Amino acid sequence: MAKNQTLKITEMDRYLFGQGTHYEIYKLMGAHPTKQKGKDGVYFAVWAPRAQEVAVVGDFNGWDPNKNIMKCDNDMGIYQLFIPGVKSGDLYKFCITSPSGELLYKADPYANYAEKRPGNASRVYDITNFKWNDSVWMKNRQNYDVNKNAMSIYEVHPGSWRKHPQNEHDEDGFYNYRELAHSLAEYVKDMGYTHVELMGIAEHPFDGSWGYQVTGYYAPTSRYGTPDDFQYFVNYMHKNKIGVILDWVPAHFPKDAHGLADFDGTPTYEYADPRKGEHPDWGTKVFDYEKNEVKNFLIANALFWMEQYHIDGLRVDAVASMLYLDYGRENGQWVPNKYGENKNLEAIEFFKHLNTVVLGRNKGTVMIAEESTAWPKVTAHPEEGGLGFSLKWNMGWMHDFLEYMKLDPYFRQYNHHKMTFSLTYAYSENYVLVLSHDEVVHLKCSMINKMPGLGQDKIENLKVGYSYMLGHPGKKLLFMGQEFGQYQEWSEARELDWYLTAESSHRELRDYVKELLKMYKKYPALYATDHTEGAFEWINADDASRSIYSFIRKSPTGRNNLLFVINCTPVARDDYRVGVPKKKQYRLVLNSKDPKFGGNVPVEKTVYMAQKKECDGREFSFAYPLPAYGVAVFTY
């Protein structure tokens, strides 16, 4: 909308908002620098349906609730006011008089910027001034197909990836979004990830929530700079051919007095019945998916990040908590739906609407569900009875994988199925394999300290695990620090233990992960057939006594198929024979024991010719000296 155009919420705007289909409502709600009747100022609008009165208070009027009282000329409860002289950077809140006469000082739900914590006021900001120059990326993005293209995600918490030394002027040590853009892009490009997924970008009051308790859905957190700085970050990532995914939290919000809870003195954004409107486990409020205005707030927010900030995907947090009315609740703490079931019918419809609109308007973007149950058809189209997500986190694979990898290698033979079970359902959804921040906090140990043994044994186990993850169907996600074997559990309060990369063993682990990511992008067999049944084939899923797995990933063209052989014990098999599908040459393209990764088994021979010798129930086979904790990948 032009800056000199008079902003006003019309009858049509109110109608669409009431229907839940005003997809650009954020261009009217909130605070927008503009010009009216020749005067520069800011137009304010807020939805407070049960308020007696609403005023804008800020540092421009001494925070006096009697000076700038807003007008409400409709029964929807939308209040609006233009205040001349207010400018970008000014702090403000809405002072809402509740039905009982109480004065509530609320941050703006649609604010584009906020005061840095511990302050909690909103800040006027014009986000339309930034000059984007990522048009090549945005054009190419329209052709991105998550079912056929590579996706390897580096999950990052910006405040703790790297920090400056703390001093009296900067006790946080945070990198600014612009500094982060340069250092992170260089690292991610060097490693070979295709995307970064950022935690905690939407404004939140408490660092320890990691950004999962949001008070400013339309504001990139001021911890790391301004909205322009964040736009610079996304723009710079795109210029370096790196996609940006944000964690997004439409499930719940905190009870902080300045936030959305009881916004106009009554349950406004949350369900009124506490059995639906509160999470007993988390002490938070649950969005009311029956209210069109609330659904509009959330769907427009998803579109806002995609269309205003050029974000390439949203990872939707805590989907299961939205789908199940009894999630985290005991008997008597929840209300069944009209059919007497535990499904939240409004949340189901919300997801279908959300995903249809967001993906329909933004071709090539992705919506990823963090859904921890066996809810069917999360990634199926709504017209097929699905929720419409692009991808779903594979929590079942993650749980089984970690349980197996934690075991002493001797006991792995009795748990062999833990690594094969996920293949029985690998094509039921479009999956992302995840080793996320959730697995390296709350006394769960860092990834390397989950591994059995001491020192180098832990690193060898991690290489084996990451290799299996690479070969298993599904997109990939690894949390920061896991790639070089961080020892400490992750904490938002300190930077990663980068000093470890001065040690050869940790550097070699990182080099190995880098090699896996390079292979991943090089061979379409590892990504283009992730969701194609039959493109994964076991050679031997049952070699439990030796804890060895062998399987094939097939490429869409039949060229450069890959054969994986993975030894999960410290016992070398000097003449390991593996069955193969054809009498062809098999070329070794990865040897985990290569000296460049800290190994001690240099490769003498890279090409193996299959012989007519039965093995693994196949007519042809060849023998390969498989080292202890050895991973061998062949192409044919």
- Interior CA angle at 581 toward 577 and 587, to 5°? 65
How far apart are the C-alpha atoms of 22 and 14, rounded to whole Å? Answer: 8
- Contact (CB, 8 A) for 115 and 226: no
Catalytic residue, chosen from 197, 247, 262, 317, is 317
- Contact (CB, 8 A) for 599 and 591: yes
Dihedral in degrees, nearest 10, Cα atoms 382, 387, 391, 397: -130
DSSP H helical segments within 278-372, as ranges?
292-308, 319-323, 345-361
- Interior CA angle at 577 toward 567 and 533, to 5°? 70
- Is 317 a residue of the active site? yes
| For the chain, counts of helices (H) and of strands (E) | 15, 28
* Pairing verdict, β 91-97 and 122-123: antiparallel
Q: What Cα–Cα distance (Å) separates residue 472 from each residue in 397, 467, 493?
A: 10, 9, 34
- Is 370 a residue of the active site? yes
How far apart are the C-alpha atoms of 68 and 269, rounded to whole Å? Answer: 25
Amino acid at 104: L
Beta strands in 382-510 (DSSP E): 391-393, 431-435, 475-479
Tokens 């024991």, residue located: 593
How far apart are the C-alpha atoms of 621 and 636, rounded to whole Å? Answer: 13
- Contact (CB, 8 A) for 586 and 562: no
Catalytic residue, chosen from 262, 346, 370, 429, is 370
Chain centroid to CA 324 = 21
Q: What letters, b where the CB count within 10 A reaches 16 and e where it falls short, cover 318-350?
A: bbbbbbbbbbebeeeebeeeeeeeeebebbbeb
Dump the DSSP string for 187-238. HHHHHT-SEEEESS-EE-S-GGGTT-S-SEEEEE-GGG--HHHHHHHHHHHH
How far apart are the C-alpha atoms of 472 and 426, rounded to whole Å? Answer: 9
* Residue 127: other Cβ atoms inside 10 A: 21
Phi then psi for residue 351, to 5 deg, are -65, -40
DSSP state letter for 72: -
How far apart are the C-alpha atoms of 364 and 361, rounded to whole Å? Answer: 10
- Conformation bin of residue 89: beta by default, left when phi > 0, alpha when psi is -120 to 50: left
Residues labelled as active-site residues: 317, 370
